[in-house]
Amino acid sequence: MEITKRTIGININPDGGVDALIWAPKAEKVSLRICEGKIDLPMQKQDYGYWTLQTDQLKAGDLYRIVLDDEKFLPDPASLSQPKGVHEASQVIDLSFNWTDEHWRNWHLNEYIIYELHTGTFTPEGTFEGIESKLDYLKSLGINTIEIMPVAQFPGERNWGYDGVFPFAVQSSYGGTKALQQLVNAAHHKGIAVVLDVVYNHLGPEGNYFGEYGPFFTDKYNTPWGNAINFDDAWCDAVRQYYIENALMWFRDFHIDALRLDAVHAIKDFSPVHILAEIKQHVDQLMKETGREHHLIVECDLNDTRYINPLEKAGYGMDAQWVDEFHHALRVTAGGETTGYYEDFNGIEHLAKAYNDAYVYDGQYSEHRHKKFGVKATDHPDSQFIVFSQNHDQVGNRMLGERSSQLFSFEMQKLIAAATLTAPYIPMLFMGEEWSEPNPFLYFVSHTDAELAEAVRKGRKAEFAAFHTEGEAPDPMDEATFTQSKLQWQLQEQGEHAVMLAYYKKLIGLRKYLHVLTNPNRQQSKATADKAKQVLTLQRWFQGEYLVALMNFSNQVQQVTMPPTDKKWIKQLDSADPEWNGPTKADDEFQSEAVVDLQPQSVLIYCVG
């Protein structure tokens, strides 16, 4: 397998023609059809089910199809572009780009301050160009890393991205290949890293022609979203190559800084070398070739350190993971619901455990799962854990897609923001939370298959049938559902929204410029919960700096004693300050072990050193 160039699909070669490599082990005959003129070029059968062709009759921009056994005229599974949709012809794309980011250095993971966004709803334009127009804003906010939800081509123009069916093709309605490359190049010039969300655990239902080509799927396993991808059954070698090449392409040809791999617990693989470990091996080799640093981040709800253990310790080598448990404990502590997966979380004591141990469940019995769950992550660096108070899943999987702005008071929103940004882990924001965006983030699709669209519509209603008193689940197919999910940028300058934005800038500034916060380390951090008062005390220290964050999740004033120190405590942030629309202002300085009045639903941050 080539590290330095893409080999599968249709690729432009140095002579100006194309090299074609198609995997179709079930076919007796394979041809490449040039749509202009309806010219069919026979391909040559090779070992292991591959078919090849070199031709100068195809050039960048041309449309083509793959013809199987003279009767199936299909798009290319490794297509780089589907300009007319998922059922139509593929397009030849030249991946070369005039990069000008040669001086860019990817941030180390412990430096990341991540901002998750959805291309279609982040800006009025709903394009990569729209994101590019907001880079200066993001930089002024203090963000140094954006995470883009999946961009693989999906049916229609509206989708979260997890129904993609062409993992190599960049969604045409977002701007396509060149626009994404341009966005990454521009982001690097602004000092912003780019994380791309990719889906290697399933493929969407509409436009999914993989089964026509060969055994891309296996019936050995099931996933919640359909057929399991064949990573360890007969004929799996080509499938594994397909996804390894996909990861390499994003890093090599798009200069993406990190990939976020969706729901890797749904990837089933009993091979001697797990597919994630093999991807890591190839990415390591690519980094040696290019000298650029890339990260692999996973979403995983198993609390299993095999995923983030290094390869040399028989792990899968992933560099970091999302930690949903921090979110769950924080939401319950803030007064959120305690049903569903939240039933496992008792609030402030579990939040303290999340600060201290990363995993809340590291071997205890889980009532929700009806079994003992998790292992300890004691020796794992804190740069391996990403925490958040909101993300696309936790908002969008609610029936009405409510954000924290609709679920919690203004004061509580400020508190949970500070709880996330002072944690000894990598913080992540979800687009719009920084100005308390009131619009929901709903589940939306634009399937062109009427039968599938109706099935999705009915499925969404059935999922939330028990919530009928709250109204009907919004129709995912209705364009208004998508439009309602767009950010309202004009709110930034209005009332409480402007105050919240200024507050987030202050918080992120502290995160970036206080050494004690920019160096996540649980060995130099301690969280203590007072259940009776609903107060959490977070202490962090680093090279002579000492910080305490006092978080009052109750609705009453609570008296808290400052930790002992031989210096004065100097105030860094007071969420209850009238500057942030709070009720009163705390003292700028406190002596060691002074008793402090902590306002309801507020946070006080003080430092010495």
Catalytic residues: 262, 299
Q: What span, in angstroms and rounded, lies between the C-alpha atoms of 268 and 265? A: 8
- Encoding tokens for residue 312? 């040399």
Quote the DSSP letter at residue 175. T
Phi and psi based region of residue 340 (left: phi greater than 0; alpha: psi -120 to 50; beta: remaining): left
DSSP assignment string, 394-452: HHHTSTT---HHHHS-HHHHHHHHHHHHTSSSEEEEETTGGGT--S--------S-HHH
Q: What span, in angstroms and rounded, lies between the C-alpha atoms of 78 and 249? A: 11
Neighbours of 29 (CB within 10 A): 14
- What's the count of helices (H) and strands (E) in the chain, helices before strands? 16, 31
At residue 278, what are phi and psi to the nearest 5 degrees? -70, -35
Q: What span, in angstroms and rounded, lies between the C-alpha atoms of 373 and 377? A: 13
Q: What span, in angstroms and rounded, lies between the C-alpha atoms of 285 and 311? A: 13
Q: What span, in angstroms and rounded, lies between the C-alpha atoms of 532 and 552? A: 11
Q: In angstroms, how far is CA 327 from the centroid of its own chain?
A: 14
The residues, ordered by sequence, that sit 6+ positions from 541 with a Cβ below 8 Å of its Cβ are 516, 524, 525, 547
Q: Could you identify the residue written with the tokens 């012809």? A: 89
Q: What span, in angstroms and rounded, lies between the C-alpha atoms of 188 and 103? A: 9
Which of 355, 283, 295, 292 is closest to 320 using CA atoms?
Answer: 295
DSSP assignment string, 34-78: ETTTTEEEEPEE-GGGEEEEEESS--TT-EEEEEETTTEEE--TT
- CB-based burial, 77-101: b 16+ in 10 Å, e otherwise: bbbbbbbebbeebbbbbebebeeee
